[in-house]
Amino acid sequence: MRTQSVLFALAFASLWCGSCQDCNRSACQSYQRPAAASIGQGVAGVVASESDVVANGCQECGLASATLEIWLTNGLVQDAVTVGAIARTTPLVAMQADGHYEIELAPADYLLCVDSGMGGCVPFAVASGKVTTVNVQRINGPTGFLVFDAGSSVPRTSQVLSVTPSS
């Protein structure tokens, strides 16, 4: 009888803990902090994708892919009409970012867009000898961005801009 009780307890524990799997949230944790970059100057970051499904108390957030485009700008862009005009030109950099990315850039102001601006855009600056972090979070809805100026562990509030046709 004791053996049957132990076997029943083990069977119950394995069923109960079948939902005790690790919840992969590593990309969203990386999204919340500056990138650890190997470049000396430019922009780096992570592309995270938070699931819209919660299963067994877990809302997974893994690494994702995104098409990133970067334009050199005259100052930090602040309005959607200007973003629309810029997005219709050829970007300085166009790349597929898979998980983590790093791009060497000269000191200047830039605009980074996801999916040709349809996923949103965010302005950022690169300082001499510094790396700025622009993290991207793909979710069911608008794309999220966190911008960490070089040397800062606190993200700055940055307006996400969408592409708007010029009038």
Confidence category of residue 63, pLDDT binned at 50, 70, 90: confident
Written in H, E and C, the secondary structure of the chain is CHHHHHHHHHHHHHHHHHHCCCCCCHHHHHHCCCCCCCCCCEEEEEEEEECCCCECCECCEEECEEEEEEEEECCCCCCHHHHHHHHCCCCCEEEEEECEEEEECCCEEEEEEECCCCCCEEEEEECCCCEEEEEEEECCCCCEEEEECCCCCCCECCCCECCCCCC
List the beta bridge partners of residue 61: 50
Q: Is residue 11 part of a domain?
A: no
Q: Is residue 103 part of a domain?
A: yes
pLDDT digit string, tens, across residues 68-122: 999 999 999 989 889 989 989 999 999 999 989 999 999 999 999 998 667 789 9
Q: Is residue 106 part of a domain?
A: yes
CATH of the domain at 111: 2.60.40
pLDDT digit string, tens, across residues 7-39: 444 444 333 444 445 776 666 676 778 888 899
pLDDT at residue 153 above 60? yes
List the beta bridge partners of residue 101: 45
Q: Is residue 140 part of a domain?
A: yes
Q: How far, in Å, CA of 7 to CA of 165, rounded? A: 67
Q: Is residue 162 part of a domain?
A: no
Enclosing domain of residue 75:
23-148
Predicted model pTM: 0.78
β-bridge pairing 100-104 and 93-98: unpaired
- Mean predicted confidence (pLDDT) in 54-59: 66
